[in-house]
Structure 1
Amino acid sequence: LRAQASATEKMSSCFSVKNSGKLSSCPAGSVVTGSACGYTCGSWDIWGKTMCHGQCSPVDWTTACCCHLT
C-alpha cells in the first residue's frame, strides 16, 4: 500500500515518525506514504491517510513515512 497524491497535490518535505506499539501517525498537513514495523513484521496497512497500523502481534514499534502536501 502506498498513498498517492491527487493531480493537484504535490508531495514535498518527507520524514518519518516512529512510535512504540502498533500505531504511528503523521501530523496534520501530511499523509502516509509508507510504513515499517518491528519484530520483522512485514504486514501493515494505512488507516485513513495519516495512520500506519502494524498487523503482527507483537509489534514493538511502528514507523510512518510521511510527506507534506503542497
Structure 2
Amino acid sequence: MTETCTLCGHSWGVTTTPRPAVLCTPCGRPAPNRRPAHYWHLRATTGHPVQRYRSVDWWDQQTSLADLRQAAANATTL
C-alpha cells in the first residue's frame, strides 16, 4: 500500500490505511509561495522574542541567504 503526495506525486509505502489527501515532507513545509499564512504565522511566533517582530523584508533576506547556502551545498555535490 502506498500514499501519494497531492502536490508533487511522490509515493511512499505505508503499513496503515493510505490517506486520500496527504503531503510529503518537502511539500508539507510552509513556504511563502505555499501556505503563506501558515508560513508567516510560524515566522512571527517562533524563535527568539527579538526576532518575532522583524519586518517581512528582513525575513525575505534571511530566507534568500538560506536558499543561497543550500544552493552552494548542492553545487558542491555536482
What is the TM-score with the length of structure 1 in the denominator?
A: 0.21
More strand by share: 1
TM-score computed with the length of structure 2 as normaliser: 0.19
Q: Greater CA radius of gyration, 1 or 2?
A: 2
Higher relative contact order (CA 8 A, sep 6+): 1
Higher helix share: 2
